[in-house]
Amino acid sequence: MKIKKIAYATPAYQATLDLRNQVMRHPLGLDIMDEDLSSEQTALILGAFSETQLMGFGILAGGSEPVRKVEYLVVDDSLQSQGVGSQLLQALEKAALNEGATTIELEARVTAQPFYERHGYHTTGERYLLPQAPVEHILMSKTLGTAAV
């Protein structure tokens, strides 16, 4: 598996849209294309690839300095619990550190809360529903260490 940057509006980016629909939106009767994705033009998108196959991806967006936000962390259903999400999350954290961030925030699905807790994240609020995904979420954050050299 290799972690690579994905550019906006490329075939690899389209694969992230397809994976989001497959894993996160279609099971809820929704479509990712109904959402405003314009902020992703300036976000860091990292994909986990096996050869040319997208296994999963994560999106790191700017937040209020020095906070960065993980907007998505999605892994193909058939590849979950195989370390793909962990490697993507570590790569996003390293990128945030290298950009000078000290904290990462994210809105986790409650079902993914244990995954993030294993990676040092803690809850910072109550459960709530997002308008674009009527599934319980919870705000989580992690204080980052020192930048990678």
Total tally of structural domains belonging to the chain: 1
Q: Is residue 149 part of a domain?
A: no
pLDDT in tens, 11-62: 999 999 999 999 999 998 889 999 899 999 999 999 999 998 999 999 999 8
**Is there a domain that residue 38 lies in?**
yes
Q: Tokens 């075939």 appear where?
A: 11
Mapped onto helix, strand or coil, the DSSP state of residue 135 is strand
Provide the CA 24 distance to its chain's centre, in angstroms.
12
Quick check: is 9 in a domain? yes
Whether 148 is in a domain gets the answer: no
User: Full-prediction pTM beyond 0.85?
Assistant: yes
Whether 116 maps to a domain, the answer reads yes
What are 104-133's pLDDT values in tens digits? 999 999 999 999 999 999 999 899 997 777
Output the domain CATH number for residue 113: 3.40.630.30
Q: What is the 3-state secondary structure (H, E, C) of 34-94?
A: HCCCHHHHCCEEEEEEECCEEEEEEEEEECCCCEEEEEEEEECHHHCCCCHHHHHHHHHHH
Domain assignment of residue 86, given as a range: 2-143
Mean pLDDT for 136-147 is 88
Domain membership of residue 124 (yes or no) is yes
